[in-house]
Amino acid sequence: MSAGAESDGGSGVRWSDAGVVDVKFGRNVRVIRPANIYGCTIGDDCAIAHGVMFINDLFRSGGPAGGDKSKWASTQVGNRVSIGSNATILPVRICDGAVIGAGAVVTRDIGVPGIYAGNPARLLRGLPR
């Protein structure tokens, strides 16, 4: 885990009771417990609500990676991204300024700023860049 230099609490991330492994955090990131974040890069000024799950093992070999990080896929979260409670994020890229609704399941890259919700997550309406 690493964090941006100018964030709250000196560590760059405000969180507790979160499962965090191999994550690079930008500045001013807020993670509300509990959250499971693995193999991700999180940009600046992001908010990750409670219950968010970042999934990085897609069982490509037919079963779980069993701790073999070479089988993990990564997720890239841009700047100013908000992810609502209980969202599930598969290995994707999320652009700057996206809002992911509570309970959404993000299965594909998000390249247009907007509000996304549902399973699978779909664009509800655009937001200015």
Q: How deeply is 81 buried, as exposed, middle or buried, from its count of CB atoms within 10 A (0-12, 13-18, 19+)?
A: buried
The DSSP symbol for 25 reads E
Round the average pLDDT of the chain to a whole number and report it: 85
Q: How deeply is 93 buried, as exposed, middle or buried, from its count of CB atoms within 10 A (0-12, 13-18, 19+)?
A: middle
**d(C-alpha 121, C-alpha 78), whole Å:** 17
Residue ranges and CATH numbers for the domains of the chain are: 13-60+67-126 (2.160.10.10)
Residues with Cβ within 8 Å of 66's Cβ and at least 6 positions away in sequence, in order, are: none
Closest CA to 107 of 91, 118, 94: 91
Residue 42, Cβ neighbours under 10 Å: how many? 26
The answer on pLDDT for 109 being more than 50 is: yes
The predicted-structure confidence for 81-100, as pLDDT tens digits, reads as follows 999 999 999 999 999 999 99
The mean per-residue pLDDT over the stretch 50-79 comes to 86
pTM: 0.83
In the prediction, which pLDDT does 10 show?
40
Q: 5 pLDDT band (50/70/90 cuts)?
A: very low
The predicted-structure confidence for 26-56, as pLDDT tens digits, reads as follows 999 998 878 888 889 999 999 999 999 998 8
